Amino acid sequence: MAKQVETGKAFEYSLLVAFYDRLSILSRVNIIEDSSFSYAKKCFESFTSSEQDRYRLNSSSAVNFIIDLEPRLSNDISENDVLQLEIVSDKEGQLGDVRDVLAIRSIQKWEIGVSAKNNHRAVKHSRLSNSIDFGYKWLGFPCSETYFDEISPIFNELAFLKLKSNSTQTWASLGNYSESIYIPVLNAFKNELERLIQRHGDVVAEKLVSYLVGNKDFYKVIKGKDSVEIQAYNLHGTLNQPFNLIRPKGKINKLRLPTRLIEIVYAENSSNTLLVSLNEGWQISFRIHNASSRIEPSLKFDINLVSSPSSLFTNHIFHAS
């Protein structure tokens, strides 16, 4: 897990530097060198020079492509119109903002963000526990007492086992904990999501995708082994804007958010993964797991976007191995 964090932060740093290197010759650019920047830089510098070069190659390719789609990046309205680059604090992601790198023009009241992914497509890593009201946190609608009545005995038992063993007892000691832990918790989660939709209507479908995918428009840049993929999540229509008479070199359609839930089912031959299908082409998987080998009174979701609308803008840039 630590290595995954380091690779992600290194990629964020290389993207920010690529933006700076490309744009500082065209406009005034300022980097916010705060603690988030310093940590990402430290992670980048921990890699070998050849690995750093691979980061730079992917980042420069992605940045050059995004600049063609966002003319405001390279065009200012005056000497005071400074482009500000910063790495976003991780706590923003907990509030539904998944962007990692921001480019801001305060005078133009404009900004765009990039979500940096290194060889993975996860959208969120959220937790479930007795103290977490996922309905309120994700959707703005609190979970029912019925939900907490269903999960509390499970998490209370886990808390007891942790305390009794002085945090030494492992998940493996529980035997088939998929049957005793995962399935009951997933069933409670599934039932509560369906209850929330019954209680609050189809707006829950829209709010679910907005929280999981991102409540602000962004570009997702996915670094692969031999390529970099750029996706544009233009959910609110703020991407791909012209600068005066200068138009973007490509068109990005606005994505349609879902308006209703179709079904929630277990993935085939799985006891730990739910598939949530919504209209407009959205499907999301929720894989539940224990985050460490030792018992804790909480479980973690690995949430992935299985399918998205056909109108999602996607471009691949390939590199030689």
Using the predicted structure, report yes or no on whether residue 270 has a pLDDT greater than 70: yes
Residue 132 host element (H or E): none
DSSP structural state of residue 95: T
Q: Is residue 50 located within the same domain as residue 188?
A: no
Percent of the chain predicted with pLDDT > 70: 96
Q: Is residue 205 located within the same domain as residue 222?
A: no
Using the predicted structure, report yes or no on whether residue 87 has a pLDDT greater than 60: yes
Q: Do residues 110 and 72 touch, judged by C-beta distance below 8 A?
A: yes
Q: 88 falls in which pLDDT band (50, 70, 90)? A: very high
Give the model confidence (pLDDT) of 24-46 as tens digits: 999 999 999 999 999 999 999 99
Give the model confidence (pLDDT) of 106-157 as tens digits: 999 999 999 998 766 667 778 999 999 999 999 999 999 999 999 999 999 9
Provide the pLDDT for residue 98. 85
Give the residue-averaged pLDDT of 243-268: 94
Q: Do residues 14 and 8 touch, judged by C-beta distance below 8 A?
A: no
Q: Is residue 188 located within the same domain as residue 220?
A: no
Using the predicted structure, report yes or no on whether residue 92 has a pLDDT greater than 60: no
Give the residue-averaged pLDDT of 282-286: 95
Q: Is residue 285 located within the same domain as residue 187?
A: yes
Provide the pLDDT for residue 320. 66
Q: Is residue 130 located within the same domain as residue 70?
A: no
Torsion of CA 248, 123, 51, 36, to 10 degrees: 90
Q: 215 falls in which pLDDT band (50, 70, 90)? A: confident
Q: Is residue 112 located within the same domain as residue 72?
A: yes
Provide the pLDDT for residue 91. 64
Type of residue numbered 117: K
Q: Which residue has the higher pLDDT, 305 or 43?
A: 43
Residues 100-132 as b/e (b if ≥16 CB within 10 A, e otherwise) read bbbbbbeeeebbbbbbbbbeeeebbebebbbeb
Using the predicted structure, report yes or no on whether residue 5 has a pLDDT greater than 90: no
Tokens representing residue 69 in the block: 């789609």
Give the residue carrying structure tokens 């005793």. 180
Provide the pLDDT for residue 317. 94
Residue-range definition of the domain harbouring residue 243: 2-122+214-256+311-318
Q: Domain count for the chain, please give it.
A: 2
Provide the pLDDT for residue 121. 61
Q: Is residue 181 located within the same domain as residue 303?
A: yes
Provide the pLDDT for residue 3. 80
Q: 193 falls in which pLDDT band (50, 70, 90)? A: very high
Q: Which residue has the higher pLDDT, 258 or 1?
A: 258
Q: Is residue 205 located within the same domain as residue 287?
A: yes
Query: Which positions ≥6 away from 186 have C-beta within 8 Å?
Result: 266, 272, 274, 286, 288
Q: Is residue 132 located within the same domain as residue 236?
A: no
Q: 94 falls in which pLDDT band (50, 70, 90)? A: low
Q: Is residue 43 located within the same domain as residue 181?
A: no
Q: Is 314 helix (H, G, I), strand (E, B) or coil?
A: strand
Q: Is residue 21 located within the same domain as residue 77?
A: yes
Tokens representing residue 237 in the block: 């229509």
Q: Look at the chain and count its residues.
A: 321
Give the residue-averaged pLDDT of 5-12: 92
User: For the chain, where are the alpha helices, taking DSSP H only?
Assistant: 2-23, 35-45, 49-69, 91-94, 134, 145-164, 177, 183-200, 203-213
Using the predicted structure, report yes or no on whether residue 93 has a pLDDT greater than 80: no
Q: Is residue 150 located within the same domain as residue 293?
A: yes
